[in-house]
Amino acid sequence: MTKVLTYSRTFPAFHPKKGQPTHFVEKLIEGFLELGDIEITDDQLNLCDFSVMRPDVWSKYTTIRAGNNWKAGDMFSPRVWSGKPYNSPQIIIAPDIRIEKVWDVEVDEDLCLWIVGGDEQDEGILEKVARNDGLELQDLLSWFNKPMSGQIICWNKNIEY
């Protein structure tokens, strides 16, 4: 059974960049196109403004979610809200995608210790986690601004942590 993953088009209200665009749609579709085995329709491409793709804007190959609901082999339907989150229809931005890998992740109460796959992570690995998630390191750390236990969900089989 395919599960739905919705992505925010803007940074959330608690984030220092609140209301600014995340460009997740462009980053997701760019990443899907790079993987080469995912067909994107013209309607889905029309959701994108690729003029925002700058050298510091990269593809998105992972997403981080609270809970323990995912495993390799699961399928997900990537979507965005057409308007206000939770109060507007969802738009499917690509065909169903297969999850290749999943890592458990924990953020401690001081927000300074990230544990990925059971190992404490240094800033170098966190930079890689942020980049694969389509974010700068500080944006990743600000997004998860409270203790969290969840998973890194990955659809690119070439990524390792």
Share of the chain above pLDDT 70, in %: 88
CB contact at 8 A, 77 and 2 = yes
> How far apart, in Å, are the Cα atoms of 100 and each of 20, 52, 64, 125, 154?
30, 28, 14, 19, 6
Quick check: 39 pLDDT over 70?
yes
Determine the Cα–Cα distance for residues 68 and 76; give it in Å rounded to an integer. 15
Least confident interval from 6-10, 48-52, 71-75, 89-93: 48-52
- pTM summary value: 0.86
pLDDT attached to residue 56: 59
The residue with tokens 């959701």 is 47
Single-letter code of the amino acid located at 30: E
pLDDT attached to residue 113: 62
- Tell me whether strands 75-81 and 2-7 are parallel, antiparallel or unpaired: parallel
